[in-house]
Amino acid sequence: MDKEKITEEFTEEVADRKGFIAWVKEHKTQLILTGISVTTILATALGLKNKDAITELWNTLKKQIEKGDLYSSKWFEKANLEELETARRIVQQDYNNPNLDLDYRNYCWNLINRFDNTIGKIKWAGKEYRYPVHSSNGWHLTSDD
């Protein structure tokens, strides 16, 4: 008798599942549209509520995309002289810290060379390269003072 009840309940559950699956298949387009609509409404409500935060995040991302990641090639191209010198001082402090990992300090050394090259290009832009000719650098150098 117990086995009969269990089989009846099982067949009813299977029939219910088949009925539910058939109903879902029949109404799948309506369910998809309802899901998309609810998601859109929630996204719109959250967007309107947090409009300022989203705008600020968007502007920050836009600046980061335009300028590039920190210490990337694009960042070195776009950074001005003041930013480069400030970042170089920070990297120099990390390089001089003996408590830091040697691999990281080696990375800092390579960054310092990139900073020096970039800063040198900016400072020497538009100037003609010449050897030093001041007499203060040696008696054999002629003075152009």
Element (H, E) at 142: none
pLDDT of residue 102: 92
Q: Is 115 helix (H, G, I), strand (E, B) or coil?
A: helix
In which band, very low, low, confident or very high, does the pLDDT at 75 lie, cut at 50, 70 and 90? confident
pLDDT of residue 59: 85
Residue 38 structure tokens: 């609810």
User: Between these two residues, 140 and 83, which has the higher pLDDT value?
Assistant: 83
pLDDT of residue 90: 94
Cα–Cα distance, 108 to 105 (Å, whole number): 5
End-to-end CA distance of the chain: 118
* 23-27, 48-52, 87-91: range with highest mean pLDDT: 87-91
Q: Which residues contact 108 (CB under 8 A, 6 or more apart)?
A: 91, 92, 94, 95
pLDDT tens digits for range 96-110: 999 999 999 999 999
Instruction: Decide: 87 and 79 in contact? Cβ < 8 Å.
Output: yes
How much is the pTM? 0.49
Cα–Cα distance, 76 to 114 (Å, whole number): 8
Rg of the chain over all Cα atoms, to the nearest angstrom: 35
pLDDT tens digits for range 102-138: 999 999 999 999 999 999 888 888 877 666 556 565 6
